[in-house]
Structure 1
Amino acid sequence: MTATATRVLVLNSGSSSLKYQLLDMHDGARLAAGLVERIGEETSRLAHTPLATGGDTRETEGPIADHTTALKAVAAELAADGLGLDSPQLAAIGHRVVHGGLQFTEPTVIDDAVLTEIERLVPVAPLHNPANITGIRTARALRPDLPQVAVFDTAFHTTMPEYAARYAIDVATADAHRIRRYGFHGTSHAYVSRRTAALLGKDPSEVNVIVLHLGNGASASAVAGGRCVDTSMGLTPLEGLVMGTRSGDIDPAVTFHLKRVAGMSEDEVDELLNKKSGLIGLCGDNDMREIRRRIDAGGEDGARAQLAFDIYIHRLKKYLGAYTAVLGRVDAVAFTAGVGENAAPVRAAALAGLEQLGMAVDEDRNAVRSDEPRLISPEGSRVAVAVVPTDEELEIAQQTYALVSA
């Protein structure tokens, strides 16, 4: 890597999508960002925003057969802005990889052996790792000379003690099939917990934080002195909080019951719990803005939306209480991601009645909308309540650059 190579391209490959950002780690500036969606369909779409020049988003539609074609299209868009993948200023490509198991606890330069290990984890991440692998292979083929770094969603949670990470099932069976709690959204929890400490003017090692990452997927973590000691997602991203389309915590016997009584197949149960449950299963909507609109409108439809909202909030309160007990001392609660950053009613309802735990929101502060990290708790509160916009792409870029420039 040359001394002038300070740019990192961050790739987040989904099964039919490719999200990307190009950042300059000299000053953290975003140079470009975009999304390719509906890869493999006739109506694929690429939206590219040249952030360095402040230009308008360019959109193109048409068939994009596969991820290789998608990345080549992205490279062409970047080249049109003078930011091509062949630039000597490009230091590395950072890849979001959802599942790293216990093998990968830190960002890792990808070689053939590392890629083989990521492939071995596909059985515990069948919805995510295959797409991540496709993105890695595509990028390595286009720039085989460039360092490619995997940053794992699970890595931040590998500091969980065994008593938090293990399920209470037969140990030999669990070990044979790698069944344990891994946790996800780790890059977001790492970033937000550090930013929360900075907001309080403290080092992360001095602060205990409960992070609530509330998007369509949602997870909570208990972070003690910068280290994750518990998190709500488990073997898969299905466990934990009520989410947009996922059930979160559920009696495991429900799956047996559905197979025996309803005659549902394993795939049908999987689809029910992952895609037809959570908020959308409860009220038909997984957009919190629409749910709040329905509540405000009242009537029978509003009552159904209210019940979904109440179930969502009840689960949040349970985790806030549980993680308060786990941490012993809570210095801050941080809300992040789409719902956490933008839904003031969710924040207010989640902390309502928790004043004995030192948790409360100031109504006026909570109502303020901003893209900046901010405190929304009353002055002098025992527990600081913060809204901290997450930045997983920046976190991936920082970890990638730190590794390749060491």
Structure 2
Amino acid sequence: MNILVINSGSSSLKYQLFKMPEKAPICSGLVERIGIEGSFIKHTVYANSEKHSIEEAGFIANHGEALKQVLALLTQGEYAVITSPDDVAAVGHRVVHGGEHFSGPTIITDEVKQQIKKLFSLAPLHNPVNYKCIEVAEQTFVNAKQIAVFDTAFHQTIPEQAYHYAIPESYYKEHGIRVYGFHGTSHKYVSEQAINWLNKKDSKIISIHLGNGCSITAIKNGKSIDTSMGFGPLSGLMMGTRSGDIDPSVIFHLMEHSGYTLEQLSTLVNKQSGLLGVGGSSDMRDIRKMVNEGNAAAVLALKLYTYRIKKFIGAYAAILNGIDAIIFTAGVGENDSNMREAVCSELNYLGIELDPAQNTGYNGELKEINTADSKVKILVIPTNEEYEIAHQCFRLIG
């Protein structure tokens, strides 16, 4: 059964085609810097123990345009992997916000699409692009089942003392205002890999997902018990363009004294803040380059970014009552050894001791980067949200 997985982030689109139940994909690809200068696509086909890669550069304005180019790569040229759209039985879509409506993979209907649209305001960088990709896929893979896998599903195990806000209960009951959490598919996948590596089901794990969007989750015995993102994917850690935690008084102040509209404020904290707002770029690679050039704003951005991660590690160590392992995953977490070293520095009181030699030369596989006598395992685990989505889709319809 061929299942195409589409995982659209705020400025990226990852995809993989699986012949389930095989774990290895037939092909995979990545579209990066969508809406940013320097956009490119890397498409890789795996066949007969060989891989064939195609790279295309050129500005890609939005996710709809990106997906159309991806679909052309799947069906055209020397390395086409399907002869027609009918070769795909299901398309699995990562959808960021499912509210309390969805706690598992769901076949997409008009009603489901309306629910996704209703949640646009809660995930303004993601749900709209997820929805756009669903529409494009429906028009292309007419006979395939379209299935949504929600980022919020893994966090449905968070206890009420963690998901409730300290506001009147009526706001939860009548408006559904609570912590939902995000990046659940990623946290679920990497934590399961860590549990297998530790060979310890009764484990205490902190999973740190650092990409354009960033979140950190406390996982006890395989279940999420707290996470940094909340009602929407804005709170918690500093991110590529999102502010992370900010005192609500700042919002009130700008409305009252500077005449900001709600739309302007949403744009400010979702699209103009984070690494972009402080350091001048939403891409960590650009920030690193500017730091090496002595750019003071970029240096400050890195300090803020690291500081917030360390704060959450301390908080989650407290609610877990100890740590067996911390996980670094996603684009920055997997590829930025300097960031991992900075985050783990001066955390020896928690038993976290990173080995600088092990921290270098990461090859894309699960790797332990702690010292031999570190009480806490420090793991770099490549997230595989696409396979996790394909697996959930296959279980749903297979």
Per the normalisation by structure 1, the TM-score is 0.86
1:222 to 218, 226, 229: 218
Q: 1:129 to 1:307 in 2, by over 3 A?
A: closer
Confirm whether residue 28 of structure 1 aligns to residue 26 of structure 2.
Answer: no
**Residue matched to 1:201:** 199
Identity, % of aligned positions: 46
Q: 1:266 to 1:396 in 2, by over 3 A?
A: same
2:143 to 134, 139, 145: 145
Confirm whether residue 326 of structure 1 aligns to residue 322 of structure 2.
Answer: no
For residues 339 and 65 of structure 1, the distance between their equivalents in structure 2, rounded to whole angstroms, comes to 22
For residues 132 and 119 of structure 2, the distance between their equivalents in structure 1, rounded to whole angstroms, comes to 14
For residues 371 and 168 of structure 1, the distance between their equivalents in structure 2, rounded to whole angstroms, comes to 42
The alpha-carbon deviation at position 70 of structure 1 amounts to 6.7
**Residue matched to 1:363:** 356
1:10 to 5, 13, 18: 5
Structure 1 window deviating more from structure 2 (353-362 vs 170-179): it is: 170-179
Bigger CA radius of gyration: 1
Aligned positions, number? 393
Confirm whether residue 163 of structure 1 aligns to residue 161 of structure 2.
Answer: yes
Matches within 5 A, 1:46-125: 48-52=43-47, 54-57=51-54, 59=56, 67=64, 74-80=70-76, 81-84=79-82, 86=84, 90-125=88-123
The alpha-carbon deviation at position 45 of structure 1 amounts to 7.5
The alpha-carbon deviation at position 98 of structure 1 amounts to 1.1
For residues 135 and 176 of structure 1, the distance between their equivalents in structure 2, rounded to whole angstroms, comes to 31
Confirm whether residue 307 of structure 1 aligns to residue 303 of structure 2.
Answer: no
For residues 212 and 62 of structure 2, the distance between their equivalents in structure 1, rounded to whole angstroms, comes to 27
Residue deviations 1:248-291 (CA, integer Å, cap 9, x gap): 11111100111112222222222221222222222323343444
Structure 1: segments with no counterpart, 5+ residues: none
Q: Is the 8 A contact 2:86 2:144 kept in 1?
A: no
Structure 1 window deviating more from structure 2 (55-64 vs 136-145): it is: 55-64
For residues 288 and 44 of structure 1, the distance between their equivalents in structure 2, rounded to whole angstroms, comes to 15
The alpha-carbon deviation at position 97 of structure 1 amounts to 0.9
Aligned-partner residue type, residue 224 of structure 1 = K
For residues 350 and 26 of structure 1, the distance between their equivalents in structure 2, rounded to whole angstroms, comes to 37
For residues 313 and 13 of structure 1, the distance between their equivalents in structure 2, rounded to whole angstroms, comes to 25
Residue deviations 1:72-99 (CA, integer Å, cap 9, x gap): 6544432334532747763321111111
For residues 247 and 12 of structure 2, the distance between their equivalents in structure 1, rounded to whole angstroms, comes to 33
For residues 299 and 67 of structure 2, the distance between their equivalents in structure 1, rounded to whole angstroms, comes to 43
2:251 to 245, 252, 255: 255
The alpha-carbon deviation at position 12 of structure 1 amounts to 3.2
Residue 235 of structure 1 aligns to a residue in which SS?
coil
Q: 1:17 to 1:253 in 2, by over 3 A?
A: same
Q: Is the 8 A contact 1:295 1:305 kept in 2?
A: yes
Q: 1:96 to 1:65 in 2, by over 3 A?
A: closer
Q: 1:278 to 1:121 in 2, by over 3 A?
A: closer
Aligned-partner residue type, residue 315 of structure 1 = R
Q: RMSD of the TM alignment (CA)?
A: 3.1
Q: 1:115 to 1:292 in 2, by over 3 A?
A: closer
For residues 85 and 112 of structure 1, the distance between their equivalents in structure 2, rounded to whole angstroms, comes to 28
Q: 1:311 to 1:142 in 2, by over 3 A?
A: closer
Structure 1 window deviating more from structure 2 (119-128 vs 45-54): it is: 45-54
Structure 1 window deviating more from structure 2 (55-64 vs 253-262): it is: 55-64
Structure 1 window deviating more from structure 2 (360-369 vs 316-325): it is: 360-369
For residues 181 and 108 of structure 2, the distance between their equivalents in structure 1, rounded to whole angstroms, comes to 22
The alpha-carbon deviation at position 293 of structure 1 amounts to 4.4
Residue deviations 1:307-340 (CA, integer Å, cap 9, x gap): 3222222211110010011111311000111211
The alpha-carbon deviation at position 225 of structure 1 amounts to 0.9
Aligned-partner residue type, residue 347 of structure 2 = L
Residue deviations 1:338-378 (CA, integer Å, cap 9, x gap): 21112222212212221111111012111232211111111
Residue deviations 1:211-232 (CA, integer Å, cap 9, x gap): 1111121110001111111000
Aligned-partner residue type, residue 119 of structure 1 = K
The alpha-carbon deviation at position 247 of structure 1 amounts to 1.2
